[in-house]
Structure formats: structure tokens, C-alpha cells
Chains A and B, each alone.
Chain A
Amino acid sequence: MEGSLLCADKEITELYNQYVDMIYQISFMYLKNKADAEDAVQTTFIKLLNYKKPFQNDEHIKAWLIRTATNHCKNHLKHWWRTNAELDTMYDYGKEDTKDETLEALLKLPGKYKTVIYLYYYMGYSTEEIAQILKQKHTTVRSLLSRGRKRLKDSLGGEFL
């Protein structure tokens, strides 16, 4: 993509279809309810529309979207009314019968582990790639992954991961 002045609806739609699932999942992992996740998706894509600098390739766009969505969610959670409300029990990811303990455990993880675990286990990135995407040190990503995995093991059972 040359520059990021996305004007054509077709261009936006293509990018949207390509990345909406990923952005939605990341947002949901942080915000734990559909309405906020949908808002986060919209905000992230609006920011993409307003972004003026050129992207080098698709991976660059993807990394930018991941970082933007993550930062938006973190900022949203810092909001005063959000910090004063007890929303941890407000998981709303659809019908009752879709709930499972693995997802509950993932949602209960602290924010800093969520993105790393998602990118590693679901998107299939290596720790080096995750470090590049999140603009963090490789060792930081590895320790976040290790500690996040340990927390999941503790809550789901030793042989899980």
C-alpha cells in the first residue's frame, strides 16, 4: 500500500476483511465484552484511515493494527469509570453454551500476557516476530510468554500447554 490515504471503500473493505477477526479477538481479550470490542475495532480502523505515513508491506500494517488495538484497549481500561467498575465478571462472548474454562482462563490473564500468548499460540508467530511487532525486547517477550504459560498451566492443569 502506497501511503495510507485509504480513500476507496474497496481498499478499506479488503483490509478490514483481512484483519477484523484478529483485531476483534485482541480487543475482546482485553475488554471482555462484545460492545467494547466492536468499538475498539472501529476505532482501530478509523485510526488506520487517518494514518498518513506509508506502510512498507502487509506485515507492517498487521503489526501496526495489533499495536494500535492493544494500546486503545489499555487506554480504555485506564478510563476512570472503567477502573471504578467491577467488570471482570462481565464476560459476554455470546451464548451461554459457548463458555469454556480455557477461554475464561485466557480472559483472566493480566493484559501484558494476553497479546503475547495470542500471537504465539493462535497466530503462530515466533517470539522474535512478536518482539518486532510489539516493539519489545526479545527476552521480554520470552519471559512474558513463559510467565503467561505458567499462569495458564496453574489455572487449567499442568499438562495443558
Chain B
Amino acid sequence: MKNKKLKEAYDKILPTKFEKQKMLAQIIDKKEKRGISRRWIPSTLLLTMTCVMLLVVFYPRSESHPNLEGPVPSMLRMTEPDKIEYKGECYEYVGTHNGKKLIRTKEKIIGGSVYQIQNQKDSIVVQLEGVYAHYQKCRGE
């Protein structure tokens, strides 16, 4: 000890025997509870279940359409051999796309796209598997 007065001062802040025992008991108690805190288990479980439910509810589904060779969204479906229904409206097949300027719509179908023809509001072009098919709104509708 290099200074007696300092030693005496420091000795005054020693813990008592009772305080030492109390701290040790709490340390051992905490040691036994260490690992994943129990309060985390319910919240983690709840969070996992919520994520699974959201995944199940919002997972993008598709339905198959046999006449269009593969799954397409429900907004586009074939009603007759030469007619389709697009967004609830009837379109009939005109022929293959003949080089007119196409505008891609925001609707995507699996394995292809839907286009509109510039300046022709009543026509759509459905591209599927590399084939462009020109459809026009059904007459009389």
C-alpha cells in the first residue's frame, strides 16, 4: 500500500458480508435463467405465426388455363376456340400480329405479355411463348 490514507478511504467502500451474499445469490439466480429469456419465447412464437399466416394469405397464386398452354391470371381466359375474355370483356381472334406498334400494358401473364395496339383501343395483342395473337373486341358488345 502506497498511501495509508487512501487505503482507509477505499476500505470504507467495501461491501458488507450481507451485501456480498445478496449479490452472489442474484448472480447465481441469473446464471440459471440465462440462455433465451423466457419472455422472448411467446413474442417470437407470435411473430413467426403471424409471418406464416401472412405468407399463406398473400402468397401469389395462379390458376392454370389449358387452352393457353400454361397458367395465366384470371383476367385473361379463353372462352371459345377463337374468343378470349380479358378483364371481363370479350375479344375475338383476328389473326397474328402484323407489325403494328404495340404498347405493353401493366398486366403480365405467366410466360407472356398483354399489349395494346397504338391508336386501336378495341384491340389487344397477347404474346405467349413467342407467338403474338391479335384480338379485337367482340362485335355487338
Contacts and interface: CB of A to CB of B under 8 A. Distances in A.
A100 B28 contact: no
B87 interface: no
Could you tell me the dominant secondary structure of chain B's interface residues?
Answer: helix
B30 A42 contact: yes
Contact of B15 (A20, A46, A161): A20
B1 A124 contact: yes
Interface stretch (B3-11, B63-71, B77-85, B97-105): B3-11
Contacts of B34: 46, 49-50
A29 interface: yes
Interface residues of B, number: 24
A65 to B, nearest CB: 13
Contacts of A28: 13
A122 to B, nearest CB: 5
A122 B12 contact: no
A17 B20 CA distance: 8
Interface in A13-61: 13, 16-17, 20-21, 24-25, 28-29, 34, 37-38, 41-42, 45-46, 49-50
B109 to A, nearest CB: 55
A42 B2 contact: no
A21 B15 contact: yes
A120 B27 CA distance: 29
Contacts of A29: 13
Given A49-B34, A124-B1, A103 B27 contact: no
Contact of B7 (A20, A50, A122): A122
B61 to A, nearest CB: 46
B53 interface: no
Nearest to B19: A38
Contacts of B30: 42, 46
A38 B34 CA distance: 19
Interface residues of A, number: 35
A116 interface: no
B24 interface: yes
A29 B10 CA distance: 9
B58 to A, nearest CB: 40
B22 to A, nearest CB: 8
B33 to A, nearest CB: 10
Interface of A: 9, 12-13, 16-17, 20-21, 24-25, 28-29, 34, 37-38, 41-42, 45-46, 49-50, 93-94, 98, 100, 102-103, 106, 117-118, 120-122, 124, 160-161
Interface of B: 1-3, 5-10, 12-15, 19-20, 22-24, 26-28, 30-31, 34
